[in-house]
Structure 1
Amino acid sequence: MQPNKKYGKIQNLFLLCLLLTGLGRMPSILSQDNTTLDSPVSVSALFSTADVLPMKLMYSNKSMKNGTNDSTYINSILSYKDGDGSWRELEVGLRARGNFRRKKCYYTPIKIKIKKSVARETLFEGNKKLKLVLPCFNQKASNDYILKEYMAYKFYEALAPYHFKTRLVAIEHSDITSRKTKSNQLYGILIEDIKNVAHRHQGHVFKRFMNPMTHDTFTSVQNDLFQYMIGNTDYSTVYQHNQKQLFADKRIVPIPYDFDMSGFVNTNYAVVSKVQNELLTIEKVTDRMYRGFQRDENVFAAVRASFLEKKNVLYTIIQDHESLFVTKRECTTARDFLSSFYSILENEQEFQREIVAMARPMPQKKQ
């Protein structure tokens, strides 16, 4: 996918506007945190708690993969356990997401569509569309990958004011076949729709291809350092690959998602990404490589300080989910991977060598 022919003119116009509106607020950019920027209109009840939500879904895996596309959904019933312990049912539409997972995995990620009238006065009220991330393979150990990806979302939620709200769910999936119905127990991640994020911050979704120079400086480095922290190269802020753009508070901010190819999650199908066929110098997803662009050193310093400030919070997120892991070694590995990041962050020479010096020149039109 390539930017349209007006790409350069649009960038220049936006860059000029952002410079004119943003020069007077540089100090606030460098000192931003969740307290100063995150003033949401509302958070859906679905995402207002970190409790694991019990759910039931019944659908044919075969029909999901072969019978759905961007506009074609299959009808299903989503059941969830309400706060009083009773089970409630919702009529929903489901479709598969992701070409890679559709071809390689037993389960595909799912897009859920719920009519407003159906969701009214339920836990799902206010959520017309949701993403549901499921394990790739039908194996108990695959649930640990879901836990680690969920923790990655929670890391970014703790670090950045602009983020997707998520909810861990324990699903009983009934796979309908021609012979019988087979039930499997698995973890999943419910992810709110980007339009809900925009509404929460009184902004709007920004879909045009933009030069990263037009992105909010602090948030841009924050996003790139987070990707480095979890060992993820499977993203592009220019081409909006595993990224959404939000225009809020007179700034364009990138919001990341999909972390299953990261070294932190380290799924058994993960490979080093080649976005736009770009060859990287690392061989394994557990090898980190900073993919951000060159910025003012004061911005790097401010973002670095914000990550150091949240260090204990991130370790607590891992600790809070340790009991859910099938294989305790996976949790230990995740903790060690985070520790290796902070070893770099806390060492001035390593921070300069591995991150600041590795920042790429800002692209003019293409990444």
Structure 2
Amino acid sequence: MKRLALAFAFACIAPPAIAQGEATPLFASDEILELTLDGPIREIVARGEKSTDPHPATLSASGESHAIQLSARGNSRRLKELCRFPPLRVRFDAKPDESSLFHRQGSIKLVTHCRDSESAEQTMLREYAAYRLYNVLTPESFRVRLVRVSYRDGESEYARRLAFFIEDGDDAARRLGLKELDVGDTPLAQVDREDAARYALFQYMIGNTDWAMVLGPTKTDCCHNSRLFGASKEARSALVPVPYDFDNSGLVDAGYAVPNPELGTYSVRTRVYRGFCSFNDLVPAAAARMRALRSQFEASLAATPEADAGTVAAMTKYLASFYEDIEDEETIGKKLLKKCR
């Protein structure tokens, strides 16, 4: 009720061009978007490991053309030993107007194919599927949009592969009637308990340990592969943790992914529960909801566009093993709660 009251107050003060509760046009559809990026692709790829400098380029889609700055982004996936094609950031030179598919987009992340191969493209689709699973679980999640990109460099096409855009944090927060927070390391007590329990159980479901709910790579930049949303920019209670970047998970099982050496596992497919003990009392209820959503999760995986039968089968099988771990309160206690932090 508190969130709804605050959201209503914000809406009455300044109604946005896109109403609260609505996604921006780019994320209002699940159809694959045909898109062209034209610019110095070869240079961006060649220098991606050492440089995230932006380069002038052009984005074209749905009869529109926009001047953009295109750059490599990310950390591990920029390393040539892991990926031959880096993730990208698209930054619009001018704000697209209200009639544009890209209205409200300023700077947006594009998750790419890592290597120019069918298997690498399937890996990317598995990460897309992970985002979609969290969308099923809660609207307090980042939306994604699948695109088929023609990467053009001058007169020639460098590559043509699937990729996906990730909703910007501010747009996700506005859709939810919240604000994205720019904070450093955050006390765990400031996080909403039910949201935190749900978050940790989801990460266990997809076999992801590459996250930190309240800590960042530096003490002034929270959080690792996660963002915090609150009722206002000054909020320091009932904060909502929203995860992203799932390529190191067992569900995705990327060829370049490596397990956390501190956890003593030998494969990213080995699940390790990293939820906090202070939320243990809420995990059984979160698990019950996960059990109720199983058919919806399986349907979401089966509906992953362009995913081949082997990819869907592998993801579905991995999901099934999660349900063995949360079959009842006894297995939850043994597999998860006894291993909390």
On whether the aligned pair clears a TM of 0.5, the verdict is yes
Given candidates 100, 119, 136, the residue that maps to 1:141 is: 119
Give the aligned residue type for 1:353: K
Map 1:273-284 → 2, pairs under 5 A? 273=260, 279-284=262-267
Given candidates 50, 56, 74, the residue that maps to 1:75 is: 56
Q: CA RMSD in A?
A: 2.3
Alignment-derived partner of residue 64 in structure 1:
44
- Give 1:297 deviation, angstroms: 4.1
- Give 1:247 deviation, angstroms: 1.1
Counterpart-to-counterpart distance in 2, 1:357 and 1:184: 48
Q: Secondary structure at the match of 1:188?
A: strand
- Give 1:144 deviation, angstroms: 0.6
Counterpart-to-counterpart distance in 2, 1:287 and 1:353: 16
Counterpart-to-counterpart distance in 2, 1:251 and 1:337: 32
Alignment-derived partner of residue 27 in structure 1:
none
Given candidates 168, 175, 186, the residue that maps to 1:193 is: 168
- Give 1:107 deviation, angstroms: 1.3
Map 1:65-144 → 2, pairs under 5 A? 65=45, 66=47, 72-80=53-61, 82=62, 87-104=63-80, 105-144=83-122
Q: Which piece of structure 1 moves more, 289-298 or 154-163?
A: 289-298
Given candidates 211, 215, 232, the residue that maps to 2:187 is: 211
Alignment-derived partner of residue 48 in structure 1:
28
Structure 2 unaligned spans of 5+: 4-18, 217-222
- Give 1:235 deviation, angstroms: 0.9
Give the aligned residue type for 1:208: G
Q: Secondary structure at the match of 1:121?
A: coil
Given candidates 259, 264, 271, the residue that maps to 1:288 is: 271
Alignment-derived partner of residue 13 in structure 2:
none
Counterpart-to-counterpart distance in 2, 1:120 and 1:63: 33
Is 1:336 the counterpart of 2:312? The answer is no
Alignment-derived partner of residue 252 in structure 2:
265
Give the aligned residue type for 1:79: S
- Report if the CA contact (8 A) 1:272-1:285 is conserved: yes
- Give 1:335 deviation, angstroms: 0.8
Map 1:211-360 → 2, pairs under 5 A? 211-237=187-213, 238-239=215-216, 240-248=223-231, 251-273=238-260, 279-321=262-304, 324-325=306-307, 327-360=308-341
Counterpart-to-counterpart distance in 2, 1:134 and 1:289: 27
Give the aligned residue type for 2:306: L
- Give 1:270 deviation, angstroms: 0.8
Q: Deviations over 1:58-109 (max 9, x none)?
A: 2334432537956x421111111x3xxxx32121111111121112311111
- Give 1:232 deviation, angstroms: 0.7
Is 1:165 the counterpart of 2:143? The answer is yes
Counterpart-to-counterpart distance in 2, 1:232 and 1:159: 16
Change (3 A) 1:163 1:241: same
Change (3 A) 1:114 1:303: same
- Report if the CA contact (8 A) 1:92-1:115 is conserved: yes
- Give 1:328 deviation, angstroms: 2.5
- Give 1:175 deviation, angstroms: 4.3
Q: Secondary structure at the match of 1:124?
A: coil
Q: Deviations over 1:140-171 (max 9, x none)?
A: 22111111111100111111231111111111
- Give 1:40 deviation, angstroms: 4.2
- Give 1:225 deviation, angstroms: 0.8
Q: Which piece of structure 1 moves more, 42-51 or 332-341?
A: 42-51
- Give 1:51 deviation, angstroms: 1.0
Runs of 4+ in structure 1 deviating by more than 6 angstroms, as ranges, are none
Q: Secondary structure at the match of 1:351?
A: helix
Structure 1 unaligned spans of 5+: 1-20, 23-38, 361-367
- Give 1:46 deviation, angstroms: 1.1
Change (3 A) 1:173 1:198: same
- Give 1:331 deviation, angstroms: 1.9
Give the aligned residue type for 1:97: R
Change (3 A) 1:329 1:147: same
Counterpart-to-counterpart distance in 2, 1:313 and 1:46: 24
- Report if the CA contact (8 A) 1:236-1:242 is conserved: yes
- Percent identity over the alignment? 27
Counterpart-to-counterpart distance in 2, 1:175 and 1:348: 56
Q: Deviations over 1:99-143 (max 9, x none)?
A: 211123111111111245434421010111211000111112211
Give the aligned residue type for 2:289: S
Give the aligned residue type for 1:248: A
- Report if the CA contact (8 A) 2:96-2:105 is conserved: no
Counterpart-to-counterpart distance in 1, 2:299 and 2:100: 31
Counterpart-to-counterpart distance in 2, 1:343 and 1:202: 36
Count of equivalent residues: 309
- Give 1:212 deviation, angstroms: 2.1
Counterpart-to-counterpart distance in 1, 2:66 and 2:98: 10
Q: Secondary structure at the match of 1:146?
A: helix
Counterpart-to-counterpart distance in 2, 1:284 and 1:296: 27
